[in-house]
Copies of this chain bind each other. A is one copy, B any other.
Amino acid sequence: MDVRVSETAPLPKLATVQAAAPADDTHSSDACAVIRSILARTTDKWSILIVKSLGRGPHRFSELRRAIDGISQRMLTLTLRNLERDGLVLRTVTPTTPPRVDYELTTLGESLWTLTEAFGQWALSNRPEIEAARTRFDARLDANT
C-alpha cells in the first residue's frame, strides 16, 4: 500500500523532455525513433548510476545524492522524474516530518537493472584495456602532429 504522490508540489511540467518527434515518414524509422528515445533515456549517464544504486534496494533522495558522486540536486530530481515517468522507478512519499521520499525500482526497472549491472561489470573488467587503447591512440595522434 503506497502513499502515492497526490500532494506533492504542483509538479509543473518542468522537463520530462518530450521524446523525439514521431513525425517521421521513413518506413522502419518510427519504431526506430521510439526505441532510440527509450535507449537515450535508459542509457543516460545519470540514469544508469541511479538504477545501479537503486538495484541495491530503495533509497531516499538524499541517500542517492550522497551515493552518486558528482550528481547535482537538479539532475537527480530531473532524472528520477524521467525514470518515474517511464515506469522504471516508484516514488513513495511518507508524510512524516521531515517528509520522507523513497525511490525504488519497479519490476520493469529491475529488469533494466540486470542489464546496467552487466554494463557496469563490463566497464569494470575492460577498463585497463580501454585506458591502454586511449593512451595508444593519443600517443599516435601526438606523434603525427
A75 within 8 A of B: no
The SS class assigned to the A binding surface is: helix
Q: For the complex formed by this chain, how many copies does it contain in all? A: 2
Contact A38 B130 (CB under 8 A): yes
CB distance from A130 to the nearest CB of B (A): 5
Contact A69 B22 (CB under 8 A): no
Q: Enumerate chain A interface residues (CB-CB to B < 8 A).
A: 2-6, 9-11, 13, 15-17, 19, 22, 24, 26-27, 29, 31-36, 38-40, 42-45, 48-49, 56, 66-67, 69-70, 84-88, 108, 111-112, 115, 118-120, 122-124, 126-127, 129-134, 136-138, 141, 144-145
Contact B115 A119 (CB under 8 A): yes
